[in-house]
Structure 1
Amino acid sequence: MPPTPTVVLVHGAFADTAIWFGVVAELHSHGIPVVAPPNPLRGLAADAARIASVAAQIDGPVVLVGHAYGGAVITVAGTADNVVALVYVAAHVPEEGESLAELQGRFPAAGPAGGLRRWSYPVPGGGEGVEVTLHVEAFAAVFATDVSAPVAEVLASCQPPLALAAAEEKATAAAWRTKPSWALVAGADRVIAPDAERFGAARAGSTVVEIDGASHAVTLSQPTAVARLIRDAVHAVS
């Protein structure tokens, strides 16, 4: 019997690895090995190289799962030799040569443009870069409408920033052209327009599940459904 693929969970912007808490528990309960590395959120090429390195150091096949901006990361990182499938969860699914800004611009979401706070940070060699988070007071209404208020408040305070340059970088590969993919569309997403999620999934030929009323934080509000889709991908390639 071939080995069960290891699932590598890649978070997106404005949330860290905690976004996968319930999903990891569900996958573990079904005997599926899981790794959830931190995504640096510094730039698409650098972040994809980091995740591809993680995948390459895992013995056996890997299923990459990306939430939000993490979808763009796995699209590039998924060209690693041992990656056998991709799963997109309320995610960007770019084409090779396409930036997130271009993709997002085709399908404006209900947020978060008005709710972004800009920060500066030092970059190697001197100078400053720009990174963004969601305004704390806007976080629940934009990111987590179906998550309890106390949890949304904690998430808002703990969100990691995304380097603004990441949105302008063009994807250097589209692993979905050669790897099978699955996608979950969050029907009430206000960070990435549901139409953008549907478009990307259709273009990639993904097997699609849609959850009406699910927010961008679907991994927290619907962990069983998210884990079920990931299990479908794992079983399909096992």
Structure 2
Amino acid sequence: MRKLLVGLASAVLVASASFASAAESKPTIVLVHGAFADGSSWNGVIGRLEKDGYSVVAVANPLRSVKSDADYVRRIVTGLKTDVVLVGHSYGGSVISEAADQTPNVRSLVYVAAFAPDVGESAGGLSGKFPGSTLGPTLAPPVELPGGGKDLYIQQDKFHDQFAADVSKTDAKLMAAAQRPVTEAALTEVATAAAWKKIPSWSVYGDADKNIPPQALAWMAERAHSKDTVVVKGASHVVMLSHPDTVAKVIEEAAATSR
């Protein structure tokens, strides 16, 4: 009996060690939200990733400027002692493209309805490169900032149709009230790095996006030689909210390939 108990204990220890080793081998997923959103926009995706054994960090993107936001994200990423899959939504794509440059523990990038600018390009410029964005007329009068500059919001009564048409009106109303502003300067600031040229990338977006034209998203994904591009039929700009399973699957694909 004693030999049996010792054998069972050894088996449990071996299994536990194997499980811990497998967990440690997985990269950390760092999620960067975009303009007019916050970290809670990733909640559905986070739940699925954590269920599958991934450690997740949802960054509170400052939304002040590409350079300063990227510096902030870079500090978080370099502080992690693991490989990282860096995921950006919308304007967050500009941030991760800049932040991942010269950041050795970033193994892959995932663009979720996101900008993937080249050096010298801006989010605003890319959004206008192809027809289809209806964001401009939905913006509220800008909030003037001390020392110059402007904060941009989407008018609350237009938020659902413009930003999140495929989520419930109740959820969209809450999002509209809690939206975080982006500076006008951040959307016009040009990129100084394009990490997707050196780091493998994946892309997922909806074909009913009204913020960034789907044609622009397709063009950027193709230019970045996306390893896999998933287009979700009927999905809005917040595809991670309306289709968290699909987005989580793309992220996990990038995580598995990055090992």
TM class by smaller structure: over 0.9
- Structure 1 match to 2:80: 58
SS at match of 1:86: strand
Cα shift readout 1:70-123 (whole Å, capped 9, x = no counterpart): 011101111111111000001111011211222112123341110001333434
The higher-RCO structure (CA 8 Å, 6+ apart) is 1
RMSD over aligned Cα atoms: 1.2
Query: Counting strand residues as a fraction of each chain, which structure ranks higher?
Result: 1
Displacement of 1:37 in angstroms is 1.2
Which letter does structure 2 place at the counterpart of 1:69? Y
CA–CA distance in 2 between the matches of 1:171 and 1:75? Answer: 8
Which of 179, 183, 188 is the aligned partner of 2:199? 179
Query: Counting helix residues as a fraction of each chain, which structure ranks higher?
Result: 2
Q: TM-score, normalised by structure 1?
A: 0.96
Which of 139, 144, 150 is the aligned partner of 2:170? 150
Runs of 4+ more than 2 Å apart: 118-123
SS at match of 1:7: strand
CA–CA distance in 2 between the matches of 1:166 and 1:108? Answer: 21
SS at match of 2:36: coil
Q: Which runs of 5+ in 1 are unaligned?
A: none
2:97, 2:194 within 8 Å by CA — same for their partners in 1?
A: yes
Which letter does structure 2 place at the counterpart of 1:9? L
Q: Percent identity?
A: 43
Q: Which runs of 5+ in 2 are unaligned?
A: 1-20
Which letter does structure 1 place at the counterpart of 2:247? V
SS at match of 1:9: strand
Matches within 5 A, 1:1-150: 3-79=25-101, 80-123=103-146, 127-150=147-170
CA–CA distance in 2 between the matches of 1:148 and 1:27? Answer: 23
CA–CA distance in 2 between the matches of 1:66 and 1:237? Answer: 17
- Computing the radius of gyration over CA atoms, which structure comes out larger, 1 or 2? 2
- Does 2:218 correspond to 1:195? no
Displacement of 1:185 in angstroms is 2.1
